[in-house]
């Protein structure tokens, strides 16, 4: 149910002890920063926000930079534009994602699915939940028989930077040679494989960027319109 703005704001006309306490704490919160984030997320300018709240663009600009302190009534107007409760501006800020990985905590794992691994890798972000990309530190061992290299593929993209040595990358039906300092970015949905192409191991930083597998869009099958075998002529038709 939609409640008119003036009706929703009527409870703030007569300041109560609670309202006064809340207004006193506004200056201690990063209200302006939160308003700015909401506005930019909507791709909304100060003039448009002012039009919807009845506040001037200059006042909103000063509010976002912390040069003025809003009343609860003005804050309620802004909250309603973005479909938020007043509590949004006073709740603790959610902690931004930050995970530190010490090199001593990493686990060295071999290539899976083969008896003689041609590379070993260490995850650089194994403690990050629901991560959108996977960075790895990888070491590739010299291989005598190139036929031992088994291509693989997965949805998304991959970035590789050669830290040491020489590395050969097969992508689809083409092969590329990389040296120390070279990098490559490619579609991981195409079969690809790596091979150390020198006598010494090669070391690389690999970042796999996930991408959801596109789901087929089911479209309704067009049904041809049925027509009577012997159409009845319109009453106004003429021979």
Q: What is the pLDDT of residue 222?
A: 52
Cα torsion angle, 19, 32, 89, 79, sign: positive
Distance CA 223, CA 182 (A): 56
Distance CA 43, CA 231 (A): 57
- The CA-atom distances, in angstroms, between 73 and each of 28, 55, 165 are 18, 11, 65
Q: What is the pLDDT of residue 27?
A: 54
Distance CA 180, CA 167 (A): 9
Domain assignments of the chain as residue spans, ordered by start: 5-89, 103-209
CATH code that applies to domain 103-209: 2.60.120.10
Are 60 and 77 contacting, i.e. CB atoms less than 8 angstroms apart? no
Are 155 and 177 contacting, i.e. CB atoms less than 8 angstroms apart? no
- The CA-atom distances, in angstroms, between 156 and each of 12, 131, 135 are 51, 13, 13
Residue 204, Cβ neighbours under 10 Å: how many?
A: 26
Q: State CA 70 to chain mean position distance.
A: 32
**pLDDT one-digit tens code per residue, 169-204:** 999 999 999 999 999 999 999 999 999 989 999 999
**pLDDT one-digit tens code per residue, 210-220:** 765 555 555 55
Does this model's pTM top 0.75? no
| Tens of each residue's pLDDT in the chain, 239 residues | 444 444 444 444 444 444 445 555 555 567 888 899 899 988 899 999 999 999 999 999 999 888 888 888 889 999 999 988 888 888 776 667 788 888 888 899 998 878 888 899 999 998 887 788 899 999 999 987 766 678 889 889 999 999 999 999 999 999 999 999 999 999 999 999 999 989 999 999 999 997 655 555 555 555 455 555 554 444 444 44
| HEC assignment per residue over the chain | CCCCHHHHHHHHCCCCHHHHHHHHHHCCCCHHHHHHHHHHHCCCCHHHHHHHHCCCHHHHHHHHCCCCCCCHHHHHHHHHHCCCCHHHHCCCCCCCCCCCCCHHHCCCEECCCCCCCCEEEEECCCCCCCCCEEEEEEEECECCCHHHCCCECCCCEEEEEEEECCEEEEECCEEEEECCCCEEEEECCCCEEEEECCCCCEEEEEEEECCCCCCCCCCCCCCCCCCCCCCCCCCCCCC
Do domains 5-89 and 103-209 share one topology? The answer is no
Superfamily name with CATH number, domain 5-89: lambda repressor-like DNA-binding domains (1.10.260.40)
């Amino acid at each position: 149910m939609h409640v008119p703005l003036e009706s929703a704001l009527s409870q703030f006309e007569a300041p109560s002890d609670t309202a006064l306490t809340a207004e006193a704490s506004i200056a201690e919160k990063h209200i302006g920063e939160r308003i700015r984030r909401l506005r930019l997320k909507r791709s909304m300018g100060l003039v448009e926000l002012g039009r919807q709240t009845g506040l001037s663009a200059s006042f909103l600009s000063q509010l976002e930079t912390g040069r003025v302190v809003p009343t609860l009534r003005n804050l309620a107007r802004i909250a309603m534009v973005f479909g938020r409760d007043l509590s949004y501006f006073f709740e603790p800020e959610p902690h931004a994602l930050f995970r530190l990985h010490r090199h001593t905590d990493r686990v060295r794992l071999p290539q899976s699915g083969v008896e003689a691994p041609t590379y070993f890798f260490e995850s650089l972000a194994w403690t990050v939940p629901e991560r959108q990309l996977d960075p790895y530190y990888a070491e590739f061992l010299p291989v005598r028989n190139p036929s031992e290299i088994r291509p693989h593929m997965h949805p998304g993209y991959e970035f590789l930077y050669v830290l040491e040595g020489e590395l050969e990358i097969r992508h689809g039906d083409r092969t590329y040679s990389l040296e120390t300092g070279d990098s490559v970015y490619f579609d991981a949905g195409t079969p690809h494989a790596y091979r150390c192409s020198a006598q010494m191991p090669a070391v690389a930083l690999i970042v796999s960027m996930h991408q959801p597998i596109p789901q087929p869009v089911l479209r309704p099958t067009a049904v041809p319109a049925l027509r009577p075998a012997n159409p009845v002529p319109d009453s106004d038709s003429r021979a």
